[in-house]
Amino acid sequence: MSCIPSGSAQISGEGATPPRAAGFGRRAFAGLGLSGAALALGARPARAAAFPDRAISVIVPFAPGGATDLAGRLMADRIGPHLGGDGRAVVENKPGAGSALGAEYVRRAKPDGYTLLVGSASTLAVAPAAQPKVAPYNPAEDFTPIAVIGTSAMGLVVPAASGIRSVPELVAKLKKGDGADGYASSGVGGVSHLASALFCNMAGAPANHIPYRGGSSVAEALIKQEVTFAIDQIASIVGQIRDGALTLLAVTTTTRDPNFPDVPTLSEAGVKGYELSTWTAMVAPKGIPPEVAEALNRAVNAALQEPAVRERLSTSGTDPSSGSTLASTRQFLAEQFALFQKVVDRTGLRID
């Protein structure tokens, strides 16, 4: 079978010179050689553009003003210089559905590293544990975990104008009200909702849940005395605590917060065994190129080593992370998801 395409000039014998009329002189063959080389070069796959070659979108699944928003803006501002190239990043706030709306947006985004999520325990653990229909994802398996940004204590706060000065006073008021009092959260099925429900469960103090959109809205509701108390990230309400508008009664961790050394833990204040904290992490859509995931991890860790970034996070109530890897971040998310599933089971806070 001939390997010469149909319509090509046939060579009549070994060493025979092709007819001039067919246009196959030496110059023509030389030209064909150049054309073949050009075609061979053109057939090679184009080199991938250096990452990043355009702006990165950092999705924050809460309204502006809270702790997660702060972390997202700090990362968006600082990862660019460490990535090099066209290292710009912009924050987009996409609140809703207990922060699952923004998470789902990122989960379904193109896996190229240009759409990232900075989420909290509410987003990446509580929502999928408490609202599996609204947040149908596993944080460790359905995203590419990038880095842990920091961990945060939560605080039990009341309006300063309420006159409540201790956890026992609050518990007594709630028991007397028999469910008439309300507590605020930054969204249905979020970590602040779960933390308050766990407090009511362990203290035997009934209260009604009143959800708001984001930490700044929670603080506003407290100051207006629309609700009796809230448990939220200290980083989201630290300004109002320091201004004296809110009274911090206790922290939710096993040790006292170094920023508020005189404030007891909830366990110290009478709710024995209470322990819960929240955190912030960055994830990307599942399936982004490994080298892009590594670059993002390095950039986040480098940003978290900057003294100004660490100080800003620390003074707002977040303990900055140090050197999380892609593997350790995946393990952390898996463990936290399992932990919050147990808390959801205890409180019965599963929302179908």
**Where exactly are the structural domains of the chain?**
56-151+278-347, 153-251
- Which tops the pLDDT comparison, 348 or 303? 303
**Residue where the block lists tokens 């929670």:** 218
Label residue 15 left, alpha or beta by phi (over 0 means left) and psi (-120 to 50 means alpha).
left
Shortest CA distance to 126 belongs to which of 189, 67, 186? 189
The mean per-residue pLDDT over the stretch 184-202 comes to 90
- The strand pair at 277-285 and 115-120 is best described as antiparallel
- Mean pLDDT over the full length of the chain: 86
**Residue where the block lists tokens 């960055």:** 282
Lowest mean per-residue pLDDT among 45-49, 74-78, 213-217, 297-301: 45-49
CA distance 290 to 293: 5
Lowest mean per-residue pLDDT among 10-14, 148-152, 263-267: 10-14
CA distance 46 to 68: 39
Shortest CA distance to 343 belongs to which of 225, 160, 206, 195? 195
The pLDDT tens digits of the residues spanning 122-177 come to: 999 999 999 999 999 999 999 999 999 999 889 999 999 999 999 999 999 999 99
| Main-chain dihedrals φ then ψ at residue 232, nearest 5 degrees | -145, 170
Question: Which pLDDT does position 221 carry in this prediction?
Answer: 95
**Residue where the block lists tokens 């994830």:** 283
C-alpha distances in Å from residue 118, one per residue of 35, 53, 68, 164: 51, 21, 7, 35
Asked if 151 and 321 count as a contact pair (C-beta separation under 8 A), the reply is: yes
| Main-chain dihedrals φ then ψ at residue 116, nearest 5 degrees | -125, 155
Could you tell me the pTM of the whole model? 0.76
The mean per-residue pLDDT over the stretch 59-64 comes to 93
> Matching CATH topology for 56-151+278-347 and 153-251?
yes
Cα 323 versus chain centre, distance: 17
CATH class entry, domain 153-251:
alpha beta
Residue 24 pLDDT greater than 90, yes or no: no
CATH class entry, domain 56-151+278-347:
alpha beta
CA distance 118 to 320: 14
CA distance 297 to 289: 13
Collect all residues with Cβ–Cβ distance below 8 Å to 292 and sequence separation of at least 6. Answer: 51, 112, 113, 284
Lowest mean per-residue pLDDT among 45-54, 180-189, 277-286: 45-54
With H, G, I as helix, E, B as strand and everything else as coil, classify residue 7: coil
Is it true that the peptide bond before 132 is cis, omega within 30 degrees of 0?
no
Residue 259 pLDDT greater than 50, yes or no: yes
The pLDDT tens digits of the residues spanning 294-331 come to: 999 999 999 999 999 999 998 888 899 989 999 999 99
